A and B are shown apart, each in its own frame.
Chain A
């Protein structure tokens, strides 16, 4: 087995107990959310976690009722874990590369919510569509 493959394998299978440490931080963030409504984010890519740690954490957190796929500059996956209010977000670039990965403690991650500015712009667009003539409606059906 080549040197790079061996060291990569080592990196992937090392248990650095970081999964435990991250897990223990989550109830604290959940309490803060309940007390003050403040959301908490743990940036998984900024910690020296090995692949084993990440798999371990994902297994312990599990999957809940919600799974959302967001297509913007690549795919982002938002999953509610088996613990209400604890979300796992994975952002991928258009080339499939993982750009960011977070555990977010919130009622719903900010990322899923529609931004007021976007709603405003969309409302304008929809109103324009509706207030346009009937021909315009038929002619532009299918354009978003």
Chain B
């Protein structure tokens, strides 16, 4: 499966000129908030890129990330480029091919040693030797170790791979962990989201193809170009937040007027993702525009933050029992203090009472 043509040569054979790269790069530059002048450099980089071997591993996941990535409304430039990426192995898409598929993976690893990218979705269970997720008779942990060994980089796609996601949520019965908790000796990029926006996944891979290196990452290893701002900072409903106009419940007057969803649990202020600008389904809408608060799905442990409808400025857990106990304890102490004061006063009174008043 060795491919010696560059991406440019590959497209030329299909009758597509270098203009395609310039167009796609202009789009990417806008997407990733790069200056327009970067588009030409990106275009040159893409044209010279060699076929990039990608091995996609699916672990403890719901396949939503694969679904998101493969959602193409009509053939676009991204599809042209992604046909070029040699998706040598994909657990889910190739499930029917059994042993032959496994051999394809091993062959790709050998042929592209040190150069292939591993894209993984789903978390990795660790409990009881990792038996809670096995493929082709081997645990996810074994497969990940084996495949990541000679990889150039590992991209964790989706919140489950990036941070543990749903399997990791309390009580985490399978001992699920994130990819980055296992892969320590290779560069890891996290592209969280439940699922991530397709453009974010493809844009990140295109960035690697064009520039030959990983994009700038934040402290949670997410590409800053897509995860550098909160939903809140780009939300079109922000003016309502500023003016204090909130929907109090779903389908009330405020909700119908499109007011801010802060009071029904929106986690926009603490969630970093591109949903408010890129939106979903080809730029059609995103949760807030459709009337539901942000779940915070690109942040670690978003399932365990007290509930999707619990607003940000409220305590995560109930304080009632502790407060009742505390009040009881305080009452006891206060009563004891007063009793002590009273008995001291009585003792003083009886000591100083004159004999004839006794």
Contact = CB atoms under 8 A, between A and B. Distances in A.
Within the complex, are A and B direct neighbours (CB within 8 Å)?
Answer: yes
B36 A102 contact: yes
Contacts, number: 97
A55 interface: no
Given A3-B256, A3-B259, A73 B23 contact: yes
Interface string B284-305: 0000011100000000000000
A121 B9 CA distance: 9
Contacts of B18: 115, 117-118
Nearest to B20: A72
A78 to B, nearest CB: 11
Contacts of B19: 70, 72, 111, 115
Contacts of B257: 3, 6
Interface string B26-64: 110110010111011000000100000000000000000
Interface residues of B, number: 41
B15 to A, nearest CB: 7
A41 B23 contact: no
Interface residues of A, number: 33
B17 A46 contact: no
A94 interface: yes
B355 interface: no
A46 B33 contact: yes
Given A46-B33, A91-B26, A94-B75, A115 B17 contact: yes
B125 to A, nearest CB: 39
A100 B25 CA distance: 10
Contact of A111 (B22, B74, B80): B22
A74 B36 contact: no
A37 interface: no
Given A43-B26, A43-B29, A73-B76, 15 more contacts: A3-B258, A4-B289, A11-B236, A41-B36, A41-B37, A72-B23, A74-B76, A74-B77, A91-B26, A91-B27, A93-B76, A94-B74, A97-B282, A99-B26, A117-B8
